[in-house]
Amino acid sequence: MQQYLKSLTLLLYLALAPLFGPVAIAATPKPEAPTTVAGARDIVQEIINVIGLKPRFELQPADIDNAAAVVYNGERYILYNERFLDAINNAVHTDWGGVSILAHEIGHHLNGHTLSRSGSNPEDELEADEFSGFVLRKMGASKAEAQAAIELLSEEETSRTHPGKRYRLAAISKGWQTANDQLLASAKGPQPDNRGIVSQNRPAQQRPAAATQRVALDSRSVLTRVNFNKAPQEQFYLTTRYNLVHMTEDGVQVIGRLAKTNNPDYPYYFESDFLDTIFVTDEGYLVNKRGQRVGHLS
């Protein structure tokens, strides 16, 4: 797969204009720097954690100049050049440079830019920049740190594919500020408007992160209580409409649904995005995939 990808990257790279102009990687040779791959993976996970979405793309080291968000065969990839990230991190004397570039590329995926076949354009670039500023603030970067890579690498003038430096710095600043306002507001109390940058824009390809649903629950609609051994304090109920609900401080949340199996020993299971598969026996025991009892109905 990797070999296959490598042979594809040139093509993809030509199809999608690069994030930055050519970067003189050779000018910053570095002896062995084995931390980058693991570092890049950790960074992507951190970025994902900030926005609360499941990663729906793969991270692949590739023979490209810097980094790119691509779709191939319906799969999403973030391609990155290991030495590029390393060189960036070196050049700006902080890890934030590489982080911001990965965040920018992830921003392309999450904003749906990679769905179009037209390649880079200034509007998309600014959205991805804004996203990177937002993410980096949430991760703890200063505004200057969030802007460091673009400050170093962006062209001054706007081109057909990329905005000029000052626009890009302004977009990063805007995202950074949005995150900063959110953090300040949540430190003070409830935050009425916590829309992230991701959700402001094209919602086309974004799956809701956690499709919880508020419902009212009164005793008449409760069929039984659901007890999970691992969470004895938590209140879960099965409703008369076979929804599995969780009582939280925010109210009742539907987290799954009781569905039928074809297995007479385990005739039901909870269909849920939040739980590993849990079967329900006729006797009312909850059983995991390994056949261990993990709770009961009461």
By CB under 5 A, name the binding residues for Zn ion.
19, 125, 128
CB of 150 to Zn ion, least distance (A): 10
**Pairwise CA distance, residues 65 & 132, whole Å:** 19
- C-beta closer to Zn ion: residue 19 or 146: 19
Q: Nearest CA to 17 among 57, 64, 61, 58?
A: 64
- C-beta closer to Zn ion: residue 159 or 261: 159
- C-beta closer to Zn ion: residue 125 or 145: 125
CB of 108 to Zn ion, least distance (A): 6
**Pairwise CA distance, residues 244 & 254, whole Å:** 6
**Pairwise CA distance, residues 186 & 286, whole Å:** 38
CB of 17 to Zn ion, least distance (A): 8
CB of 206 to Zn ion, least distance (A): 18
Are 95 and 39 in contact by the 8 Å Cβ rule? The answer is yes
> What are the strands of the beta sheet with 58-61, ordered from one edge?
58-61, 75-80, 67-72
CB of 202 to Zn ion, least distance (A): 15
C-beta contacts of 273-276 below 8 A and 24+ residues apart: 273/210, 273/211, 274/210
- C-beta closer to Zn ion: residue 19 or 217: 19
- C-beta closer to Zn ion: residue 121 or 224: 121
Query: Residue 163: which residues within 8 A CB-CB, separation 6 or more?
Result: 122, 125, 126, 171
Q: Nearest CA to 19 among 115, 86, 112, 104?
A: 104
Q: Which two tokens stand for residue 175?
A: 């995202």
- C-beta closer to Zn ion: residue 174 or 257: 174
- C-beta closer to Zn ion: residue 18 or 295: 18
* Single-letter code of the amino acid located at 294: V
CB of 101 to Zn ion, least distance (A): 9
CB of 135 to Zn ion, least distance (A): 14
Nearest to Zn ion by Cβ — which residue?
A: 19
**Pairwise CA distance, residues 223 & 211, whole Å:** 23
* Single-letter code of the amino acid located at 190: P
Looking at residue 82, the DSSP 8-state letter turns out to be H
